[in-house]
Amino acid sequence: MRGAMLYAPGDVRVQEREDPRIAEPTDAIIRLSATCVCGSDLWPYRGIEQVDGPAPMGHEYVGIVEEVGADVRTVRPGQFVVGSFFASDNTCEICRAGYQSSCVHRVGVGGLGAQAQYLRVPLADGTLVATPDLPADDLIPGLLAASDVLGTGWFAAVAAQVEPGKTVAVVGDGAVGLLGVLAARQLGAERIIAMSRHADRQKLALAYGATDIVTERGDEGVTRIKDLTGGLGAHSVIEAVGTQESMMQSIRATRPGGHVGYVGVAHDVALPGAELFFSHVHLHGGPAPVRRFLPELIDLIVERTIDPGQVFDLTLPLDQAAEGYRAMDERRAIKVLLQP
């Protein structure tokens, strides 16, 4: 099969890779209908995260089940399924509490490489959710978004305790931030302030339910949020970047008693204890337990209540994955869908 490999920073190649096979009785093999490049794939691509190349890439996937291991009960060949970036048993105490991305048996899918034609999914019963029917082609980008960016934006909104009547600020205008806006709208936020300085992303944020756009960043951005909230700060802030600046901007833009939901993968973030102490802000986040939300998100997508697939503004054949990485790295694309 064909699959993307990262050899070194900036060097992505699509090449022949061995077809995945059932290794454990709880595995499933899926034939990917679509996959994509993640903002978090850019960390190793840019050399900010160590690359031990050549490494298989990709952790977002939807597709048709080809084969299942002897112990798989809940999915069967021919079904269209959505999974997420950590395989989980969905039965341990941590999973049952809703934190499947910290499952005691979790397996990272990134190391298996979903930017490919086929993928082995461990713990298939706990990981994969089948759609009610084979979805129409135009629903596939939305279902692929549910695999990570929508599920992550949704978790950020839930972690930030977004509720009807609240004011929400969203730091980060990548796919996760934009879908955090969508999630905040669905969860009933009264006012949603998107922080973005890119016209195309502002437009999508407004389409997804943002009521205000703030173009300033850092301390100036915090001042603008305070101006818009009677000097208090937002009730809920979604942090979807993962840098020191974005994290501090999020904490400082939150009112005392408010909540930050942080889902940007943290890189060199160090929180000042005294400032945190006096902020009276709740912090919750981490790798999103997307599996918790998948059944609900799949329903919203197939009923066409939400259209998260709009974050994909560039579609390329899998063989052109390298161009997909470049387009996202240079911010020419919000998110790139790859067709295997």
In the window 127-186, what residues touch Zn ion (CB under 5 A)?
none
| DSSP state string for 173-217 | -SHHHHHHHHHHHHTT-SEEEEE---HHHHHHHHHTT--EEE---
Of 315, 321, 320, residue with least CA distance to 333: 315
Q: How far is the CB of 146 from Zn ion (least distance, A)?
A: 20
* Minimal distance, residue 28 CB to Zn ion, in Å: 17
| CA–centroid distance for 28 within its chain | 22
Nearer to Zn ion, 104 or 276 (CB): 104
Closest approach of Zn ion to the CB of residue 123, in Å: 8
User: Using CB under 5 A, which residues numbered 72 to 131 contact Zn ion?
Assistant: 88-89, 92, 95, 103
Taking the complex as a whole, the smallest distance from the CB of residue 287 to Zn ion amounts, in Å, to 14
Neighbour count for residue 289 (Cβ, 10 Å): 24
Question: Between residues 259 and 292, which has the closer beta carbon with respect to Zn ion?
Answer: 292
Q: Residue 317 and residue 301: Cα distance in Å, rounded?
A: 24
Q: How far is the CB of 96 from Zn ion (least distance, A)?
A: 8
- In angstroms, give the least distance from the CB of 25 to Zn ion: 17
- Smallest gap, in angstroms, from Cβ of residue 231 to Zn ion? 44
- Return the number of the residue (97 or 207) whose C-beta is nearest Zn ion: 97
Distance of alpha carbon 39 from alpha carbon 46, whole angstroms: 11
What's the rounded Cα separation, in Å, for the pair 18 and 102?
Answer: 29
In the complex, the smallest distance separating the C-beta of residue 93 from Zn ion, rounded to whole angstroms, is 8
Task: Report which DSSP code applies to 145.
Answer: H
CA gap 275, 278 in Å, rounded: 5
Q: Which is nearer to Zn ion, 67 or 125 (CB)?
A: 125
C-beta atoms surrounding 88 within 10 Å: 27
Between CA 75 and CA 130 the distance in angstroms is 7
Single-letter amino acid, residue 283: L
Q: Give the total of residues touching Zn ion (CB under 5 A).
A: 5
Q: How far is CA 41 from the centre of its chain?
A: 11
- Cβ proximity to Zn ion: between 41 and 89 the closer is 89
**CB closer to Zn ion, 25 vs 78:** 25
Residue with smaller CB distance to Zn ion, 40 or 100: 100
Rounded to the nearest 5°, which phi and psi values hold at 222? -60, -45
> Which lies closer to Zn ion via its Cβ, residue 72 or residue 337?
72
Q: In angstroms, what CA-CA distances link 339 with 12, 37, 183, 321, 327? A: 16, 11, 26, 9, 16
Positions in the binding site for Zn ion (CB under 5 A): 88-89, 92, 95, 103
